[in-house]
Structure 1
Amino acid sequence: MTQISGDTHLQSDALEDLTSAVNYRKWLCSLGFPHFGDDVLEIGSGLGHYASEWADMGARITASEADESRLSTLRERFAHDARVTVRELTVPISETADYSTVVAYNVLEHIEDHVGALRSFSGLLRHGGAIVLVVPAFEFAMSRFDRAIGHHRRYRTAGLSRALTEAGLIVEHCHYINGPGLLAWYVTCRLLGGRPKEGPMLTAYDKLYVPVERRIESRLRMPFGQSVFAVARRP
């Protein structure tokens, strides 16, 4: 297993640029929250936007980071918030623990040995605990921006399910999310060589499109999507 890769400054800039995507963040958090237990570890917490949202939903959560700058931001952000504990956690992970849930949103694709990473995530869980993931979907959408921020791959549901199974986990859910968002990513990042960023387009996407798509996908499983959402359990 290798260290999480990519331009850390560009990663942080991208996280900051997506701060205003409130509806999208709430959607992703709502997918993961029902699978949480009483003691949740988030791997790769970034600037803490997901951790803050989950804390507001009632989760007891430990936010973790390897990057020193982002770790400092997390400690400052949650210094007076008893709902969120902050700790440093680097890959490869050699320790074991007894968390109820490990959640990693847009992290696994940064790790070259993703099966080894999943095994180490499992080692942080109690028996029966859950791993909750979001990863980018479809290799044809791999862009210069993906590579710059350290993505080794994008996933199909079959490939992610296979990696989870190889890691000794039992797959409960694995499906695509944000169907039309895949086209937006492909055009913006792959064809035009851009990146998601703050601005009128993102604001309109978040306010107008996301609530509609969230309602649709609550009733219908998409055959494609910008991301894959998965839940697997340690036996």
Structure 2
Amino acid sequence: MHSLHSDLYAQESGYWWSTARRKLLLRLFKKVHPSGSDCRYAELGCGGGEFLLLLERAGIKAFGLDRSYEACSIAGSKGLCIVNADILRMPFRDKSFNRILAFDILEHLQDEKGGMEAISGLCGDGGIVFFTLPALNCLRTVRDKRLGHYRRYSRRSFERVLQEHKFKPVYSRYMFASLFLPLLFSRFIPSSSEHGEVWTAGGFVNRLFGVYFYLEGILTGLLPLPFGTSLVCIAQKC
């Protein structure tokens, strides 16, 4: 699993899936971002810090937190404010932030309830949390295990989790619908890789995939589909 995560950190800046996802999340972020300057930002599970860099270029300073020393080293080398800590033992006071980014972290926590309570405690009243999660248990493969995923989520199941922890869902959509069938069929194909597969493409094809899935994400944001391989959700603390 370490090697697979190392590959993902190394490819984070240019990998088609990562670039399309970041652009879509930034586009969505800007829609709900207030014009005032009284917001305090944190990204939990910040990885190599690529999304934090996008925020910084937009004039938004945010703290990054990750439990991986390797990820923190990569992000810290980019001049970002990074804390090496686990989400269940965060070195921040309650209600320290009112804009929290939690991209693909909840599925890595065996203690889902503890993770949600930690996020809720960190978030100020009325604050906004952006979540992304792997979608739909029917898509669970051996790669989920290798990545340390304990679960995948449907829109309905995650909205229940939010409501149980005093969050109100304000936006919920599936992403990357075109990958649904390939990922579903991959469940029945034995993996020959010891560390799991990262779906790579080089040069022009990589850029083409990035553009295609960015445009697909814009369309599915306007015309929601009942399936996808990722789930994006925005929730407000009640």
TM-score past 0.5 threshold:
yes
Residue in 2 aligned with 1:29? 26
Residues 141, 190 of structure 1: 8 Å contact kept: no
Aligned positions of 1:8-27 closer than 5 A: 8-20=2-14, 21=16, 22-27=19-24
- Mark the CA change 1:212 to 1:170 in structure 2 (over 3 Å): closer, same or farther: closer
Shift in Å at residue 171 of structure 1? 1.8
Question: Which of 88, 92, 112 is the matching residue for 1:92?
Answer: 88
1:144-166 alpha-carbon deviations (Å, 9 max, x no partner): 11110100011100111111111
Question: Which of 116, 119, 143 is the matching residue for 2:117?
Answer: 119
Aligned positions of 1:118-137 closer than 5 A: 118-137=116-135
Residue in 2 aligned with 1:76? 77
Residues 9, 71 of structure 2: 8 Å contact kept: no
Shift in Å at residue 218 of structure 1? 3.5
- Mark the CA change 1:202 to 1:184 in structure 2 (over 3 Å): closer, same or farther: farther
Residue in 2 aligned with 1:225? 228
- Is structure 2 residue 193 aligned with structure 1 residue 204? no
Distance 2:188 2:170 in 1: 32
**Which consecutive segments of 4 or more residues in structure 1 shift more than 6 A?**
none
Question: Where do 5+ consecutive residues of structure 2 fail to align?
Answer: none
Residue in 2 aligned with 1:81? none
Aligned positions of 1:178-217 closer than 5 A: 178-188=176-186, 191=189, 193=191, 195-200=197-202, 202-207=206-211, 209-217=212-220
After TM superposition, the structure 1 stretch with the greater mean CA deviation from structure 2, 12-21 or 158-167, is 12-21
RMSD: 2.2
1:36-67 alpha-carbon deviations (Å, 9 max, x no partner): 46211000011111111222233221111111
Q: Percent identity?
A: 21
- Mark the CA change 1:184 to 1:59 in structure 2 (over 3 Å): closer, same or farther: farther
Report the AA paired with residue 215 of structure 1. Answer: I
- Mark the CA change 1:186 to 1:18 in structure 2 (over 3 Å): closer, same or farther: farther
- Mark the CA change 1:8 to 1:129 in structure 2 (over 3 Å): closer, same or farther: farther
Residues 41, 61 of structure 2: 8 Å contact kept: yes
